[in-house]
Structure 1
């Protein structure tokens, strides 16, 4: 019978795994609180995060790419983008290099309400980060990049393995 070694590393790995799980749940609660305060649904919040992440990378997202990321049909993406635009959270702009393409950006109102809500969390995060040396932050960053990639790969594998919905028989 295989028995797992009970080492300090095993305990640390288990604690880190538990902390990551709790962090994910807590972050989800904070996101839901933001969404609830501003009349947004879960998909709305995921869309706003995708738009923000794309802008932070300097690569604004298209509605089609947003639909791929959120696993939504084009009709659902259109309704989602219309809703977020009407609420003042995002804006649509034409791509300056290809006028046929639409790019999604955070609107000023959306950025302002997000900043107001998340600024205290940013200050708390800054205080935690201040307690680490640059070398320690390099290790934490490398760990987080690896864990994020691992999670995204698992998400993609689960999506790819999803069975097709049953087809209705013609009667």
Structure 2
């Protein structure tokens, strides 16, 4: 009888404990003043001034070479942008929006007679243990959901992001 009561209590404690977990972490470290992405290395760095706070392996668009030019090309942009929005209810867990396309991107796409595309984000996966392989997005930057929780807590709207080949 004691064992059954103990096991029921343990199950209730574990159940209630799992309800309190949250994808919204609190960050109290140094400010992230810039994000740098090196597409060729598949690495993203969160920086405070010139000091690296965190580094992450990333996946990119399914056609990663070169700068994004038009909608649907599967490329991840290159250049200088800012984090311009946060989506806590993203289809891909959590996401931070990148300000692509800028005025120059729109002009280049217009010269090609095509829309530039948009909705470029840093995001997690659709499902917690999604293993899609390398470079599966439509131009976004993807990390694991656990990593995205940390990134989402550290990065504010207005943070500059530079993406290099």
Quick check: which has more Rg, 1 or 2? Answer: 1
- TM-score band by shorter chain is under 0.3
More contact order relative to length (CA 8 Å, sep ≥ 6): 2
TM-score normalized by structure 2? Answer: 0.26
TM-score by length of 1: 0.25
User: Which has the larger strand fraction?
Assistant: 2
